[in-house]
Chains A and B, each alone.
Chain A
């Protein structure tokens, strides 16, 4: 196995370069301010740190609530094997979102202010609370993995006993803030282009978060099997592919119904700046993945699922960038391209995401196989969730 070794070294070098550039960018950001470190302006107060790092970061971490809901609430026990890597992805995602906010906020040391200075009429206030509480919930959902690693039985039992409440709380909090990221834009009816401004924005953001959650699970499982030499959970991913078809179809139909009812459907045939980005988004996020997944041969194959998943991810990343950037450019009369420092910080966060996942997968009992190496913590057999069992035991 020499090839993976070379690959790992190559990525390590890339990682190092990104980190060095990141340290320098961080220095510029905090010593000289947002003007020197970004291409933001009075016309364009939000760039990729909000559009990608926060908007897409939260979206890409949506697998956490989607899968815990499926496994622990809807009791789809056969998906249990992938809960841990998914929770790891989500927890890491939210930590990186919080890190991104520290860069983007003008006065990051005031980030705690919403705790005591409340404005319940602000969507941002609601998001701040939900993200904060959900990150805490994810830490709790992640904690059994750490407790298990060190064999701390007492806290493990304690956490498992209350876990169900926190799973439900996590789903509620996620539903609220995933949709609220869309609600943020409802106050800009005269700024956001009609391709994207819709009273249904919160609904679109929520449904697409579920689609992205599923696509992210497919992506992350495929990557894990490739780089950690693990066997791919293909039967699970095939089922995910089917669910993804349904979610994408619902989303796509709703999107077009909405365009039709707001009388902007005709605009998708009129060539223009927004139109090109809209078509790119719709093809990547809905039409191509649906087309691929509706072919049984593609849907059943690992490569086909991977391709459809990655396209879905790219499509919805395009969607979030369209809402935050493309859709407002004409109204504010300015174009925005991120400065290199903005790109570097974003790359740092993405690279950290991959690195932390790799480290965690190496040292913590993330995957089912590794659990078998822990004779100190015998687990019950069968398809039932490790969380569900103690709840019954406690009854």
Chain B
């Protein structure tokens, strides 16, 4: 069963303990200055945004069919069957196509290092392997960040909206965006308030390139035969012309 995270912004109190737990789990520095940063970066995989008395968490969405993993030429980024999208620096060559392709601009780069890598939330994949929840969900004092089976969380999210329609936008961010994701977000105000794009396609992004790439194996032999055929036909003229000339010459020679 694929795991997931349900973040319910209406339950969040903005304590940022998830940020702290995330930093500790991933061996990243954390202090007041970093807590005040409202963008994710190579040293901050998640951030809690505040708008008046409303909150929103930013983290990797762990798409069901992730653009980043699809575009990675060496397979350094990978969607695991239990949910997390993980990264292997030993494979990475640093082309940064994942950063360009991600619809949420999640992967970040260690720009200041001479031997850099991509950094992003990996949904605490090592913890999940041990059967533990993510660090952010474990520490959350209000249950705003909840870890569980993605299918169960989705059902619960729908139920929360149904039971309390006045409290929620009738939309679960991540249910259908770019084909769905392991992370689901609930909010009472528009997601675009926190610069989450609401105009995203429901189609999994890798399909856009796959519909072209998948035709290459069929295209190559046909194009090869076409080019070879053109060569074969166009170069036929010369021997014919030569033979004609020889014949004419012989004919002339014979007449003399």
Q: Which residue of A lies closest to B103 (CB)?
A: A190
B112 contacts A35, C-beta separation under 8 Å: yes
Say whether, besides A108-B93, A176-B216, A188-B101, A42 and B115 are in contact (CB < 8 Å). Answer: no
If A36-B112, A119-B73, A187-B205 touch, does A106 touch B212 (CB 8 Å cutoff)? no
Separation in Å of the A75 CB from the closest CB of chain B? 4
B220-252 interface (Cβ within 8 A of A): 220, 223-224, 227-228, 230-231, 234-235, 237-239
| A301 within 8 Å of B (CB atoms) | no
- Select A113's contact among B93, B109, B115, B197, beta carbons within 8 Å: B93
A contact residues around B110 at 8 Å (CB):
33
Q: What's the nearest-Cβ distance from chain A to residue B216, in Å?
A: 6
Q: Is A40 an interface residue (CB 8 A)?
A: yes
Bound complex: CA A384 to CA B197 (Å): 60
Known: A33-B112, A106-B109, A121-B206. A187 touches B93 (CB 8 A): no
Cβ of B67 within 8 Å of any chain A Cβ, yes or no, is: yes
A155 — which chain B residues lie within 8 A by C-beta? none
A1 is an interface residue with CB less than 8 A from chain B: no
CB contact between B91 and one of A41, A117, A121, A188 (< 8 Å): that residue: A117
Within the complex, what minimum Cβ distance (angstroms) separates A225 from chain B? 29
Contact A118 B231 (CB under 8 A): no
Which residues of A have CB within 8 Å of B91?
A: 110, 113, 117
CA distance A35 to B115 in the complex (A): 11
A183 touches B93 (CB 8 A): no
B93 touches A110 (CB 8 A): yes
From B41, B72, B116, give the contact of A119 (CB < 8 A).
B72
Taking a contact as CB atoms closer than 8 A, the residue among A111, A172, A191 that contacts B227 in the complex is A172
Closest B residue to A41 by beta carbon equals B111
The smallest beta-carbon distance between A33 and chain B, in angstroms, is: 5
Partner of B94 from the list A74, A110, A125, A175 (CB cut-off 8 Å) is A110
Q: Take A113-B74, A122-B71 as given contacts and tell me if A32 and B114 are in contact as well, using a CB distance cutoff of 8 Å.
A: yes
Binary contact readout A53-91 vs B (1 if CB under 8 angstroms, 0 otherwise): 000000000000000010011110000000000000000
**Alpha-carbon gap, A126 to B97, bound state (A):** 13
Q: Are B209 and A183 in contact (CB under 8 A)?
A: yes
A123/B71 in contact, CB under 8 A: yes
Q: Do A122 and B234 contact each other (CB < 8 Å), given the known contacts A176-B216, A188-B101, A190-B201?
A: no
Contacts of A73 in B (CB 8 A): 227, 230-231, 234
Whether the pair B115, A107 counts as a contact (CB closer than 8 A) is yes
Q: Is B105 an interface residue (CB 8 A)?
A: yes
Residue A45 is within 8 A (CB to CB) of chain B in the complex: yes
Query: Judging by beta carbons under 8 Å apart, are A168 and B228 in contact?
Result: yes
Known: A34-B116, A202-B212. A122 touches B73 (CB 8 A): yes
Q: Provide the bound-state CA to CA distance between A117 and B72, in Å.
A: 10
B200: interface (CB < 8 Å): yes
- Minimal Cβ-Cβ distance residue in B for A46: B100
CB <8 Å contact, B70 and A189:
no
How far, in angstroms, from A188 to B70 measured CA to CA in the complex?
Answer: 12
A51–B109 Cα distance when bound, in Å, is: 19
Closest Cβ neighbor of B199 among chain A residues = A190
Could you tell me the distance between the alpha carbons of A103 and B183 in the complex, rounded to whole angstroms? 36
Which of the four size classes fits the interface of chain B? 35 or more
A335 to chain B, nearest CB (A): 15
Complex alpha-carbon distance, A97 and B73, angstroms = 18
- In angstroms, how far is the closest chain B Cβ from the Cβ of A235? 20
Cβ–Cβ contact B109 & A42, under 8 A: yes
- Asked if A207 is an interface residue, CB under 8 A from chain B, the answer is no
Contacts of A104 in B (CB 8 A): 95
Q: Are A164 and B93 in touch, CB under 8 angstroms? A: no
Contacts of A168 in B (CB 8 A): 224, 227-228, 231
Asked if A107 and B116 make an inter-chain contact with CB atoms under 8 angstroms apart, the answer reads yes
Pairwise interchain contact B72-A110, C-beta atoms closer than 8 A: no
Q: Could you say which residues of chain B place their CB within 8 Å of the CB of A125?
A: 73-74
Are B114 and A184 within 8 A (Cβ)? no
Closest to A111 in B: B93
**A384 contact set on B, CB distance < 8 A:** 238
Are B239's CB and A33's CB within 8 A?
Answer: no
Cα–Cα, bound, A106→B111 (Å): 9
Contact between chains at B73 and A128 (CB < 8 Å): yes
A140 located at the interface, meaning its Cβ lies under 8 Å from any Cβ of chain B in the complex: no
Q: Which of A105, A122, A332 contacts B70 (CB 8 A)?
A: A122
A120: nearest residue on chain B (CB-CB)? B213
Bound Cα distance A194, B220 (Å): 30
Nearest CB in chain A: distance from B82 CB, A:
20
| B interface footprint on A324-340 (CB within 8 Å = 1, 0 otherwise) | 00001000110000000
Q: How far is the CA of A77 from the CA of B74 in the complex (A)?
A: 43
Whether B206 pairs with A43 at a CB distance below 8 angstroms is: no
B residues within 8 A CB of A111? 93
Decide if A43 touches B105 in the complex (CB within 8 Å). yes
Q: B99 to A42, Cβ gap below 8 A?
A: yes
Instruction: Beyond the given A35-B113, A42-B109, A187-B206, please list 4 additional residue pairs across the A-B interface where CB-CB is below 8 A.
Output: A41-B111, A106-B93, A114-B74, A171-B227
- In order of increasing CB-CB distance, the 7 nearest A-B pairs are A106-B94, A35-B111, A75-B234, A125-B73, A110-B93, A45-B99, A117-B74
Task: Enumerate 19 A-B pairs (CB-CB under 8 Å) in ascending A order.
Answer: A32-B114, A33-B112, A33-B115, A35-B111, A35-B113, A104-B95, A107-B93, A108-B94, A110-B91, A110-B92, A113-B74, A122-B71, A172-B224, A183-B209, A184-B97, A186-B209, A187-B71, A190-B197, A190-B200
